[in-house]
């Protein structure tokens, strides 16, 4: 379609890209939103949440890990894909134990914001009610695995930005869970600090900073005032937006 | 004592999976202390060691019994394959609960995914060694041996015999290659010509995906990298497949010959056989063959006197993970990590083992390559179809009189195979295993080929008496168990699929659930990260199309709660020690 060798099109809109950019990189740079939860511009992509899956011809690919290639004609913001994204979001909701009304993260939570953005009105699937261990050992940071969506952001942030390697995801299938890289397996015995990116990057309420609950009242929180689309188009590691 | 024994057995060059296996053997589990120890030995974060331990089914964080029994749960060699639930029987005899080690540590019994003994009847692994052809009589005797504490080495040798029957032979199973003959020819004609003959033969990968082998070798050969590797994928995990087990037992020499030729063509000095943990008992045989080849100058330095050709092969044994049959997951496992499929591209052929160009081929593919170099491309093309040259080895099992190994020219019709193995009153055939295709009687005139019905080798036959909904539940359980957990659609979706089928089987499904099955299946198929997810719902979609009645037969007309309300109160009843009428819901 395009004569320009360095562009892709997303939903008909022509977008430039540079070498080594993924479809997600190019889209974000051009202000085109592709929904995502496990991505964070500035960290290496993982491709695990699958919300950013887009269509190229009859192929479905995750935009965050697929290199942009000249001439790609990509479908992104379609009713069908957004419906699928809503279902994937519902899957994440039922897999964990998400307690929005009593969660400190409410209003700042990306999973919740994604639910709103995609028009999710109920869980659709039966809850898994998994028993997942809570780790309250650390004086300043709480880890509630029940609310974890296995996005791997804390793992990458700790390893690639903080240089500490505090977290890892282990276990197959729905046994997958977060573990701590410390002799006791407890957060208290790890090297994590509240100033670490890994302590604040959690998109949901699985990793929470203690003793500062509800400093911002519900109603004035990030996603009370913005859609996840607006925030998603702005955020990156370089300009870390602290809650 | 723990520390000293750990130190003594550690070797700096040992593979992480092998080190963990040794610990599992010694202590019957891998404790947090052992993980710490291994982490320091290998200079890894303890979380990485833990991630490996938790990923593979054959590593345990709680002690197993001194007799650890794993029943296959495959539809052909599983404990439910016969009339009786053999696992339940053994559990009752030994007074154990599946998945829980007996209080005195004597025994533990659990189930595992297909162990590749599908033509041998119900089968199990006891401390890693297979016992095929189980029946109630044998189970009773096994229970007696265990109760008496008789070491497995003293059990009747007859029990452990695996008798393979080859019913049909074609190109690969007719003649045996003389060790070194292929390599000799390849070295004589040179790498270019050897590659050319593979390219001309039209050989495609026998694992099921069917990528052009000559093209793969060529791409690897020209890829830039400091070293190149050839890897044999012997992680034959697709339920119903056992032809690689047979080939590894009978044709190991031809396999290593194929690997050496590949190494010569692509310029590799090092090769690996990634052997599935379920086949560990083949290790000593394979190592003996490798040793013999070294003594014949067919491995090592200056192979057959060629100063510039140096190549050797290591065997790495997996530890129970179906996903490691996916080539990038296999490489992760080779590198001592959990088998989570990589982001592709880049593909292994340019960025494989340790990031270097790597050829990964199936056992059968490498043996075919050896034979092609020996006999020429015309010989190979004399069998098969235009786009599926040569022959295919099938693992035939299920409801037939003559299960076993069948080698056919590609293009053979399904009905032909059914006739040859004496399968009558066939309801359906699952070709390519649970990840493959379910074929009903109306399509038995279709052909086995890359153009039509493709298969890695699994050919499961289901007679009229089989409950296809139960088969679907078995497959769904398999995928939920084997999903690596990396991506949402597969991790959660396979679990939901299993739950949905269980609900229908329990008679709590409604017409809505059929629609839900369809949507969920499409989502898993299209949104997942790798081939496991892409194929995990095939069986449901095929069944919905060919056998819709298996789902609809048991549906409720009106809304039904998806769980049993009364059953859900069971916990409360136990806590309050009540079981009177008032503690039950009136279901009437």
Give residue B414's pLDDT: 98
B426-431 and B458-463 beta bridge pairing: antiparallel
| Angstroms from A87 CA to nearest CA on chain B | 9
**Do A98-232 and A7-77 have the same topology in CATH?**
no
Instruction: Read off the pLDDT of residues B78-128 as tens digits, 9 standing for 90 and up.
Output: 998 777 899 999 999 999 999 999 999 999 999 999 999 999 999 999 999
- Is the Cβ–Cβ distance between B276 and B316 less than 8 Å? no
How far apart CA B331 and CA B347 sit, in angstroms, is 11
- Is the Cβ–Cβ distance between B499 and B477 less than 8 Å? no
Strands (E), A22-58: 53-56
Residue B473 pLDDT greater than 90, yes or no: yes
| Angstroms from B353 CA to nearest CA on chain A | 20
Report the residue from B51, B489, B495 with minimal CB separation from A174: B495
How far apart CA B88 and CA B93 sit, in angstroms, is 9
| Angstroms from A215 CA to nearest CA on chain B | 32
**ipTM (interface predicted TM):** 0.96
Q: Do the domain assignments include residue B482?
A: yes
B124-126 and B129-131 beta bridge pairing: antiparallel
Range of the domain at B480: 469-552
Mutate to test the interface with B, among A172, A176, A184, A187 (most CBs of B within 10 A): A172
Residue B8 pLDDT greater than 60, yes or no: no
Instruction: Read off the pLDDT of residues B10-33 as tens digits, 9 standing for 90 and up.
Output: 455 799 999 999 999 999 999 999
* pLDDT bucket at A94, cuts 50 / 70 / 90: very high
Instruction: Count CB neighbours of B79 within 10 A.
Output: 24
Report the residue from B485, B488, B495 with minimal CB separation from A92: B488
Which residues have CB under 8 Å from B550's CB, separation 6+?
B467, B468, B469, B472, B543
User: How many residues in chain B?
Assistant: 588
Instruction: Read off the pLDDT of residues A25-71 as tens digits, 9 standing for 90 and up.
Output: 999 999 999 999 999 999 999 999 999 999 999 999 999 999 999 99
The CATH number of the structural domain formed by A98-232 is 3.30.70.20
* pLDDT bucket at B564, cuts 50 / 70 / 90: confident
Together in a domain, B308 and B197: yes
Phi first, then psi: what are they for A45, rounded to 5°?
A: -70, 160
Q: Do the domain assignments include residue B121?
A: yes
SS percent in chain B: helix, strand, coil, step 5: 45, 15, 40
Instruction: Read off the pLDDT of residues B127-175 as tens digits, 9 standing for 90 and up.
Output: 999 999 999 999 999 999 999 999 999 999 999 999 999 999 999 999 8
Radius of gyration over every alpha carbon of chain A, rounded to an integer in angstroms: 18
**Percentage of chain B lying above the pLDDT 90 cut:** 89
Give residue A216's pLDDT: 94
Contacts 24+ apart (CB under 8 A), B154-160: B159/B131, B160/B129, B160/B130, B160/B131
Which residues have CB under 8 Å from A239's CB, separation 6+?
none
Residue B5 pLDDT greater than 50, yes or no: no
* pLDDT bucket at B457, cuts 50 / 70 / 90: very high
Together in a domain, B72 and B203: no
Only one residue has tokens 């009370």, namely A224
Instruction: Read off the pLDDT of residues B479-505 as tens digits, 9 standing for 90 and up.
Output: 999 999 999 999 999 999 999 999 999
B124-126 and A167-170 beta bridge pairing: unpaired
What CATH code is carried by the domain that includes residue B76? 3.40.30.10
The b-or-e profile of B53-72 (16+ CB within 10 A means b, else e) is bbbbbbbbeebbbbbbbbbb
Q: Average the pLDDT over B551-561 and give the result.
A: 82
* pLDDT bucket at A4, cuts 50 / 70 / 90: low
Report the residue from B496, B527, B563 with minimal CB separation from A50: B527
Residue A171 to residue B345, Cβ atoms within 8 A: no
- Looking at A233-237, B251-255, B489-493, which range is the least confident one? A233-237
Q: Do the domain assignments include residue B567?
A: no
What CATH code is carried by the domain that includes residue B210? 3.40.50.11540
Domain extents in chain A? 7-77, 98-232
Instruction: Read off the pLDDT of residues A181-220 as tens digits, 9 standing for 90 and up.
Output: 998 999 999 999 999 999 999 999 999 999 988 899 999 9
A56 touches chain B (CB under 8 A): no
Give residue A243's pLDDT: 39
3-state secondary structure of B313: strand
- Which chain A residues in 205-234 lie under 8 Å from chain B, judged by CB atoms? none
Domain boundary at B346, B365, B381, which? B381
Neighbour-count burial of B158, counting CB atoms closer than 10 A to its CB (0-12 exposed, 13-18 middle, 19+ buried):
exposed
The secondary element (H helix, E strand) that includes residue B502 is: helix B488-505
Q: Which residues pair with B271 in a beta bridge?
A: B230, B313
How far apart CA B323 and CA B339 sit, in angstroms, is 7
Which residues have CB under 8 Å from B466's CB, separation 6+?
B399, B427, B428
Q: Average the pLDDT over A101-126 and give the result.
A: 96
Together in a domain, B182 and B151: no
Q: Do the domain assignments include residue B414?
A: no
Together in a domain, B199 and B140: no
Q: Which residues pair with B391 in a beta bridge?
A: B409
Together in a domain, B520 and B540: yes
- The DSSP call for residue B64 is P
Phi-psi region of A129 (alpha: psi -120 to 50; beta: other; left: phi over 0): left
How far apart CA B171 and CA B378 sit, in angstroms, is 12
Neighbour-count burial of B449, counting CB atoms closer than 10 A to its CB (0-12 exposed, 13-18 middle, 19+ buried):
buried
Instruction: Count CB neighbours of B282 within 10 A.
Output: 20
Give the angle B119-B124-B125 at the CA atoms, nearest 5°: 120
Residue A87 to residue B495, Cβ atoms within 8 A: no
Together in a domain, B362 and B499: no
B295 touches chain A (CB under 8 A): no
How far apart CA B332 and CA B460 sit, in angstroms, is 30
Only one residue has tokens 């593909």, namely B347
* pLDDT bucket at B2, cuts 50 / 70 / 90: very low
Together in a domain, B99 and B34: no
Give residue A177's pLDDT: 97
Together in a domain, B218 and B349: yes
B48 touches chain A (CB under 8 A): yes
Instruction: Read off the pLDDT of residues B209-246 as tens digits, 9 standing for 90 and up.
Output: 899 999 999 999 999 999 999 999 999 999 999 999 99
Q: Average the pLDDT over B342-357 and give the result.
A: 96
How far apart CA B215 and CA B205 sit, in angstroms, is 11
Q: Which residues pair with B430 in a beta bridge?
A: B438, B460
Report the residue from B484, B487, B526 with minimal CB separation from A172: B484
B508 touches chain A (CB under 8 A): no
Residue A65 to residue B480, Cβ atoms within 8 A: no
Residues of A in contact with B563 (CB under 8 A): 126
Residue B184 pLDDT greater than 60, yes or no: yes
Interface A:B, Cβ pairs < 8 A: 110
- Per CATH, the architecture of A7-77 is what? Roll (3.10)
Q: Please state the domain count of chain B.
A: 4
CA distances from A227 to A90, A217, A222, B78, B398 (A): 18, 18, 8, 52, 55
* pLDDT bucket at B561, cuts 50 / 70 / 90: confident
Q: Do the domain assignments include residue B572?
A: no
Mutate to test the interface with B, among A44, A57, A154, A170 (most CBs of B within 10 A): A170
Together in a domain, B40 and B111: no
User: What is the rounded average pLDDT for all residues in chain B?
Assistant: 94
Which residue in chain B is spatially nearest to A92 when comparing CA positions? B488
B8 touches chain A (CB under 8 A): no
Residue B510 pLDDT greater than 70, yes or no: yes
Report the residue from B36, B483, B527 with minimal CB separation from A88: B527
Give residue A3's pLDDT: 53
pTM for the complete prediction?
Answer: 0.95
Q: Average the pLDDT over B332-358 and give the result.
A: 96
Residues of B in contact with A180 (CB under 8 A): 47
Give residue A239's pLDDT: 44
Together in a domain, B256 and B374: yes
Report the residue from A47, A171, A183 with minimal CB separation from B36: A183
More confident residue, A85 or A240: A85
A127 touches chain B (CB under 8 A): no
- Is the Cβ–Cβ distance between B105 and B66 less than 8 Å? yes
| Angstroms from A175 CA to nearest CA on chain B | 8
Give residue B9's pLDDT: 43
Together in a domain, B154 and B177: no
Residue B579 pLDDT greater than 60, yes or no: yes
- Is the Cβ–Cβ distance between B455 and B394 less than 8 Å? yes
Together in a domain, B233 and B289: yes
Residues of B in contact with A91 (CB under 8 A): 488-489, 492-493, 496
Residue B485 to residue A174, Cβ atoms within 8 A: yes
Q: Do the domain assignments include residue B314?
A: yes
Q: Do the domain assignments include residue B546?
A: yes
Only one residue has tokens 């700042």, namely A108
How far apart CA A237 and CA A174 sit, in angstroms, is 30
Q: Do the domain assignments include residue B569?
A: no
Residue B45 to residue A165, Cβ atoms within 8 A: yes
Give the angle A148-A152-A153 at the CA atoms, nearest 5°: 95
The b-or-e profile of B81-97 (16+ CB within 10 A means b, else e) is beeeebbebbbebbebe
| Angstroms from B504 CA to nearest CA on chain A | 14
3-state secondary structure of B470: helix
């Amino acid at each position: 379609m395009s004569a320009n060798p360095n562009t892709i099109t997303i939903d008909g809109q022509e977008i430039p890209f540079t070498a080594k950019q993924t479809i997600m990189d190019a889209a974000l740079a051009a202000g085109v939103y592709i929904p995502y939860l496990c991505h964070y511009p500035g960290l290496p992509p993982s491709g695990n949440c699958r919300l950013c899956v887009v269509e190229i011809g009859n192929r479905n690919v995750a935009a965050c890990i697929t290199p942009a290639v000249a001439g790609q004609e990509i479908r992104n913001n379609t009713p069908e894909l957004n419906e699928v994204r809503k279902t994937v979001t519902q899957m994440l909701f039922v897999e964990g134990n998400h307690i929005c009304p009593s969660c400190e993260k409410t209003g700042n939570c990306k999973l919740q914001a994604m639910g709103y953005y995609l028009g999710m009105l109920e869980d659709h699937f039966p809850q898994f009610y998994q028993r997942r261990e809570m780790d309250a050992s650390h004086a300043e940071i709480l880890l509630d695995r029940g609310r974890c969506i296995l996005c791997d952001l804390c793992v990458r942030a700790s390893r690639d930005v903080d240089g500490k390697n505090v977290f890892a995801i282990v276990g197959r299938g729905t046994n997958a869970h977060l573990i701590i890289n410390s002799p006791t397996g407890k957060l208290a015995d790890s090297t994590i600090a509240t100033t670490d990116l890994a302590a604040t990057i959690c998109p949901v309420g699985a990793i929470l900073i203690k003793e500062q609950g509800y400093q911002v009242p519900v109603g004035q929180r990030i996603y009370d005032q913005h859609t996840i689309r607006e925030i998603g188009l702005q955020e990156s590691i370089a300009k870390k937006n602290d809650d | 004592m723990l520390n000293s024994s750990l130190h003594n057995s550690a070797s700096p060059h040992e593979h992480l999976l092998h080190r963990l296996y040794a610990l599992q053997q010694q202590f019957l589990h891998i404790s947090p202390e052992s993980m710490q120890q291994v982490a320091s030995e290998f200079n890894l974060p303890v979380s990485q060691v833990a991630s490996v331990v938790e990923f593979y089914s054959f590593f345990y964080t709680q002690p197993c019994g001194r007799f650890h029994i794993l029943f296959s749960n495959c539809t052909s060699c599983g404990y439910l394959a016969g009339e009786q639930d053999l696992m339940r029987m053994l559990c009752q005899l030994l007074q154990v609960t599946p998945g829980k080690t007996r209080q005195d540590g004597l025994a533990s019994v659990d189930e595992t995914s297909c162990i590749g003994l599908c033509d041998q009847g119900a089968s199990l692994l006891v401390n890693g060694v297979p016992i095929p052809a189980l029946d109630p009589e044998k189970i009773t005797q096994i229970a007696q041996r265990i109760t008496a504490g008789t070491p497995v080495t003293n059990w009747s040798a007859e029990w452990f015999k695996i008798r393979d029957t080859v019913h049909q032979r074609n190109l690969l199973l007719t003649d045996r290659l003389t060790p070194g003959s292929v390599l000799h020819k390849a070295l004589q004609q040179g790498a270019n010509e050897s590659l050319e003959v593979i390219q001309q033969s039209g050989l495609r990968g026998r694992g099921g995906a069917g990528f052009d082998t000559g093209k793969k070798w060529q791409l690897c050969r020209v890829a830039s990298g400091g070293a190149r590797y050839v890897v044999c994928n012997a992680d034959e995990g697709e339920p119903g497949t056992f032809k690689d087990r047979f080939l590894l037992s009978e044709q190991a020499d031809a396999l290593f010959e194929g690997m050496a030729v590949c190494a010569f063509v692509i310029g590799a000095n090092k090769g690996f056989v990634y052997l599935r943990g379920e086949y560990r008992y083949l290790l000593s045989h394979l190592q003996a063959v490798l040793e013999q080849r070294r003594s014949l100058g067919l491995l090592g330095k200056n192979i057959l006197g060629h100063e510039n050709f140096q190549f050797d092969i290591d065997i790495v044994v997996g530890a129970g993970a179906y996903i490691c049959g996916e080539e990038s997951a296999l490489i992760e496992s080779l590198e001592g990590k959990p088998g989570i499929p990589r982001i592709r591209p880049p593909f292994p052929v340019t960025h494989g083992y340790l990031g270097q160009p790597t050829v990964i081929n199936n056992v059968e593919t490498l043996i075919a390559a050896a034979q092609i170099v020996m006999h020429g491309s015309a010989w190979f093309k004399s069998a098969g179809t235009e786009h599926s040259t040569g022959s295919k080895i099938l693992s035939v099992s299920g409801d037939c009189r003559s299960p076993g190994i069948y080698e056919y020219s590609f293009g053979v019709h399904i009905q032909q195979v059914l006739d040859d193995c004496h399968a009558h009153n066939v309801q359906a055939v699952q070709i390519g295993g649970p990840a493959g295709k379910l074929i009903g009687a109306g399509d038995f005139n279709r052909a086995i080929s890359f153009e039509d019905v493709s298969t890695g080798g699994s050919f499961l036959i289901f007679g009229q008496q089989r409950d296809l909904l139960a088969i679907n539940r078995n497959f769904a359980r398999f995928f939920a168990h084997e999903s690596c957990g990396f991506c949402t659609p597969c991790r959660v979706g396979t679990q939901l699929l299993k739950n949905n089928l269980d609900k229908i089987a329990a008679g709590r499904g409604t017409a809505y659930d059929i629609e839900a099955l369809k949507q969920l299946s499409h989502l898993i198929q299209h949104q997942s990260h790798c081939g496991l997810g892409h194929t995990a719902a095939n069986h449901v979609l095929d069944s919905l199309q060919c056998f819709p009645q298996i789902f609809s037969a048991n549906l409720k007309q009106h809304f039904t709660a998806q769980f049993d309300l009364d059953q859900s109160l069971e916990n409360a009843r136990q806590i309050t020690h009540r079981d009177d009428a008032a503690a039950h819901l009136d279901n009437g």
